[in-house]
Amino acid sequence: MSLCEIQRGQLTGRIYSISKGFYHVSSDSTKTTRRQKQTFIQWFLSIFMEIFLPTGYPNTVSNDYLSYQIWDTIQAFASSITNALAFSAILEG
């Protein structure tokens, strides 16, 4: 199994291969490919950061964005739990 990402016609992002492990792969305009072996934790954290943080972080946002995003994610999770419990109570009633 492998996972890759292509942007603007160039191979970039992460590749996971069962036989070869985790890699971060990027291509520059000279068509050379750099591969950097990653541990599972590094690979997971890079995917997690890509999901929750904007492209170009930290250069494209203010200094307090990370703390804002952490609290916003906690609030969204707590809100969804509250909604699920309220909906369950309404159905029981």
Q: Pick the residue with more confidence: 38 or 82? A: 82
64 burial (CB, 10 Å; 0-12 / 13-18 / 19+) is exposed
- The pLDDT score that the predictor gives to residue 49 is 84
- The pLDDT score that the predictor gives to residue 88 is 97
Q: How sure is the predictor about 15, in pLDDT bands with cuts at 50, 70 and 90?
A: low
Determine the average pLDDT of the residues in 16-25: 56
- The pLDDT score that the predictor gives to residue 43 is 86
pLDDT tens for each residue of 31-62: 455 566 778 888 888 888 888 888 888 888 89
